[in-house]
Amino acid sequence: MSIPAPTTPTLRDILADADARHVSVGHFNISELAALNGIFAGARALDLPLLIGVSEGEREFIGVRTAVAIVKSMREEYAYPIFLNADHTHSLEKAVEAAKAGFDEIIFDNSSLPMEENIKNTKEAVAAIRAIDPSIVIEGEIGYIDMNSEVMDAAPEGIARSSPEDAVRFCAETGVDVLAPAVGNMHGLLRTMVAGIAHKEIDIARIGAIKAAIVAQTGTKWMTLHGGSGTEDKLFTDAARAGMTIIHVSSELRLAWRRGVEQGLKEKPEEIAPYKILPPAVEGIEKIVTDRLKLFNGMQ
């Protein structure tokens, strides 16, 4: 009798488990390998599952199929639950491209459009993605929370908050696996947040109300908190407990990457080998990932 090879759980298994335990899976964006190495080290230190995100711009820079090949090879080599998400995919064409390339999750984001159009387009994307690979986890978004993971002077105009009624309607009509609602979150960071003198206000009661409504009235069970950077520590744990299954952090990692590169260049002004310059960026990212994952899992 042969011993079966160890199998890594699927992303659906990971999300179901996180949901049952009221913790959140960490989702972190990359543009290149130094960030991936830092994120992976941070998650492995805690032995926690991991979602790697690449936006349309990030995956164009890395290569759509290259991103899939890298994450898949890490999953196999380390027998580790690391998965890849096509973050904020705005067109059907890009969603189909990601599905064919073998992404584990695709976020179809038409949240900047009116609700009617968002529902219509998301429904169409869900059908197209399921036809290519029904195992792909599909996320849809409602409510505007701005587009950019950048550092800004002031909050952009028009940031919305989603209602449980809109959430139920959107999930029921589109059939998405995961809902990203607007609950006081926002992409990017304000300068006051970078300085540590302000934090994002996440509406925990609204998370609970939306979660209860969609679970009771639709087939959608999972939810994602976008724009996690700059959130007060305690609110991460509260958001996970209230029903967020995935939490995204990107801008903080971009900031750590830039600071780390600047430090590496300053410490070694004559060095030209990137792998000798980049370690401070890797270490800075690793620290943030470990800190955030502890909060998402109520470990602090």
Query: Would you say 211 or 226 has its CB closer to Zn ion?
Result: 226
Query: Would you say 141 or 264 has its CB closer to Zn ion?
Result: 141
State residue 120 phi and psi, 5-degree precision: -60, -50
Site for Zn ion in 197-226 (CB under 5 A): 226
> Shortest approach of Zn ion to residue 100 CB, angstroms?
23
Q: Does 294 bind Zn ion (CB under 5 A)?
A: no
> Shortest approach of Zn ion to residue 2 CB, angstroms?
44
Inter-residue contact 11 to 232 (CB < 8 Å): no
> Shortest approach of Zn ion to residue 187 CB, angstroms?
6
Structure tokens at 155: 């909050």
Query: Would you say 221 or 226 has its CB closer to Zn ion?
Result: 226
Query: Would you say 200 or 226 has its CB closer to Zn ion?
Result: 226
Build a one-symbol-per-residue string for 221-260: x at contacts with Zn ion by CB under 5 A, - elsewhere.
-----x----------------------------------
> Shortest approach of Zn ion to residue 29 CB, angstroms?
8
Cα(278)–Cα(260) distance, rounded to whole angstroms? 7
> Shortest approach of Zn ion to residue 238 CB, angstroms?
19
Surface-to-core class of residue 270, CB atoms within 10 Å of its CB (0-12 exposed, 13-18 middle, 19+ buried):
exposed
The residue with its CB nearest to Zn ion is 226
3-state secondary structure at position 25: strand
Return the number of other C-beta atoms located less than 10 Å from residue 249's C-beta.
28
Inter-residue contact 111 to 104 (CB < 8 Å): no
Closest of 133, 130, 132, 142 to residue 172, by C-alpha: 142
Size of the site for Zn ion (CB under 5 A): 1
Structure tokens at 295: 């909060």
Query: Would you say 60 or 262 has its CB closer to Zn ion?
Result: 60
The CA–CA distances, whole Å, from 117 to 25, 44, 124, 267, 280 equal 30, 41, 11, 52, 45
Query: Would you say 94 or 226 has its CB closer to Zn ion?
Result: 226
Binding site for Zn ion (CB under 5 A): 226
